[in-house]
Amino acid sequence: MPFSQVVIFFRKLAVSIALYTALGGAWATAGVFNPDVFTLDNGMQVVVIPNHRAPIVSQMVWYRVGAADESLGESGNAHFLEHLMFKGTKKFKSGEFSALVAKNGGQENAFTSWDYTAYHQTVANDRLEMIMELEADRMTGLVLNDEAVLPEREVVREERRSRVGNSPGAQLGEVMRASQFLNHPYRIPIIGWDHEIEALNTDTALRFYRKWYAPNNAVLIITGDVTTEMVKSLAEKYYGVIPARDVPERLRVSEPPQQAARRVVKKSKLINSPSLSIRYLAPSYRTAGDDTPYALQVLDEIIGSGPTSKLYKSLAIDEKTAASVGSGYSPTAYDLGTFTLYISPSAGISIESAEKRLREELADILRTGVSEEEVMMAKTRMVDAAIFARDSLSAGPNIIGRALMSGRTVEDIEAWPERIAAVTTVDVNKVMKTIFNDNNSVTGLLLPEADDK
C-alpha cells in the first residue's frame, strides 16, 4: 500500500475511533440528555433533565400551537396571545408574574414560532414551586379585557415596525418566505401582517387561547438541580389538577409541486454591503419519513458550517471572494423546512461575481461528491457538539421541546448520535442530488441603493 494511502487509512481509523469514543463506546446505547419522562393523568407530558452543576432550575411550558395554526385573516394572533399571557389572572394581577420572578432573582420570557409557543423561567431551585404555581395558573385562568388588550396590540405593532419596518433584511426575508411557500401558512410572518394585527382584539385572543391552551396540548420541561420525584409531586399538585379538554387536530394545507425558481431583490439606502441567499425547500424529520434529514445535517456540516467547511475554505480562505459564506439547515419544522446557502462578497468583489462563484462551487460539489473522510470528520464534530450540549441548562429543554412540538419523541433525541453515526457517504451524495433543485428555490438579494443626492 502506498504511503499516502497508509496515511489516509490511519486518518480514517482515528476519526472512526474518535466518533466511537464520543458515542460512549457503543453505537446503540448512546444518549444525549438522558431525561426522565412521564405523563400526568390529564395528558400533560413532563420531561425532567437533572443537572446538578448549580443550584438553579429552569421551567419551560411548550404549547403545540403557533403562527401556522392561526385562523385565516388573524395573522399574528399566536404571538399577540404570548404578550397577553402576562396580563394577569384572577389570582395574580397584571405584571405580578414578572414582578415575582424578578423579586426572587429569576429571569423569564416567552417566544412564538410557526409551530409552537413556549414560556420559560429560570430561578433558584428552591423557587421551583413558585414558578410552577404561576405558570399553571395562567394556563387556563387568563383574564383579558379591552383595557389590557388594545394597548398591547399597539405594542406589537410597534414591535413589527421596529423589527421589520426598520430592517431591509427582515423585509427581504418576509418576501422570500412568501415566495418560498406558495400555499402553506409558513408564508405568513410569525408577528403577522400589520393590517391584520390591527384587527386583532380581545375576542380573537380569547378564542385562540380557549381553543389551544390546555394541559393535554402542552409539555412541561424542567431542568436543573432537581429530582424527578420532586418535579412529579409539584407537577401533579399544580398542573395535574387542570382538566383536559378537546383540542382540535392541526390541519394545515399542503405545499403544491413547485415548477419554477424565484428571485427577490431588495434595495435600500440602509445597506452598505450586498448579500445573497438561496433557499431550497427541504424535508423535516416529520415529513421526510426516512433518514434523509440526518444526511442533510451532515451535508450542511460539510459544505457550509463554519471555517472548516468546503464553501468557506474555497471561497473565503483560498480565493477571498467571500467575506462570509455558508449554509444552514434545520429539520425541526412540523411541516417542510429549508436548506439555505448564503454569501457576502469581499470588498471589491461584485455580488454578481460572488453569486456566480457560489453556484459554480455548488455545481462542483454536486459533480465530485463529498468524501468518506469529510463525512466521518463532520459526524465526529456533530456528536462532540451533542455531548457538550449536556452541560447547558437551556440546550436540553429547547432541543427536546422543539422535537416534541414537531411530532418527534424523546427517544428520537436520545438516538440522534447513533443516527448521525449511521449516515454514509453514499447517503450524503444521494440526498445532495435531490435537495438542490432550482424549481424548489428562492434567491434573495439585499443590495445597497445609491443615494441620489
277: β partners: 342, 444
Q: At what angle do helices 425-435 and 351-368 cross, to 10 degrees?
A: 130
Q: Is the pLDDT of residue 452 over 80?
A: no
pLDDT of amino acid 385: 86
Say if residue 289 is exposed, middle or buried (CB neighbours under 10 Å; 0-12, 13-18, 19+).
Answer: exposed
Least confident stretch, 4-13, 242-251, 349-358: 4-13
pLDDT of amino acid 7: 36
**Domain 262-448 part of CATH 3.30.470.10:** no
pLDDT of amino acid 144: 97
Q: Would strands 275-282 and 337-345 be described as parallel, antiparallel, or unpaired?
A: antiparallel
* Alpha-carbon distances of 272 from 255, 278, 351, rounded to whole Å: 36, 20, 12
Average pLDDT (321-332) is 97
pLDDT in tens, 35-56: 999 999 999 999 999 999 999 9
- With vertex at residue 139, the alpha carbon angle to CA 219 and CA 56, rounded to the nearest 5 degrees, is 60
Catalytic residue from among 74, 82, 255, 374: 82
Task: Say how far apart CA 328 and CA 342 lie, in whole Å.
Answer: 9
Residue 366 CB-half CA count within 13 A: 13
In the residue annotation, 372 being an active-site residue is answered as: no
Average pLDDT (4-26) is 39
Average pLDDT (241-255) is 95
Percent of the chain surpassing pLDDT 90: 89
pLDDT of amino acid 193: 98
pLDDT in tens, 342-391: 999 999 999 999 999 999 999 999 999 999 999 999 999 999 888 888 78
Average pLDDT (133-147) is 97
Give the DSSP H or E segment for 340: strand 337-345
Supply the pTM of this predicted model. 0.91
Average pLDDT, the chain: 92
Task: Say how far apart CA 214 and CA 244 lie, in whole Å.
Answer: 6
pLDDT of amino acid 366: 97
Residue 273 CB-half CA count within 13 A: 12
pLDDT of amino acid 451: 61
pLDDT of amino acid 1: 41
Give the DSSP H or E segment for 280: strand 275-282
Written out in words, the top-level CATH class of the domain with range 36-238 is alpha beta
pLDDT of amino acid 255: 94
Q: Is the pLDDT of residue 440 over 90?
A: yes
Q: Locate cell 405580578: which residue?
A: 96
Task: Say how far apart CA 270 and CA 282 lie, in whole Å.
Answer: 32
> What pLDDT band is residue 170 in, cutting at 50, 70 and 90?
very high
pLDDT in tens, 61-79: 999 999 999 999 999 999 9
Percent of the chain surpassing pLDDT 70: 93
Q: Is the pLDDT of residue 126 over 70?
A: yes
Domains of the chain, by residue range, sit at: 36-238, 262-448
- How many Å separate Cα 183 from the centre of its chain? 21
Task: Say how far apart CA 379 and CA 384 lie, in whole Å.
Answer: 8
Residue type, 211: K
Q: Is the pLDDT of residue 9 over 60?
A: no
User: Can 36-238 and 262-448 be said to share one CATH topology?
Assistant: yes
Query: Residue 350 corresponds to which cell in the numbers above?
Result: 461584485
pLDDT in tens, 390-420: 788 889 999 999 999 999 999 999 999 999 9
pLDDT of amino acid 96: 95
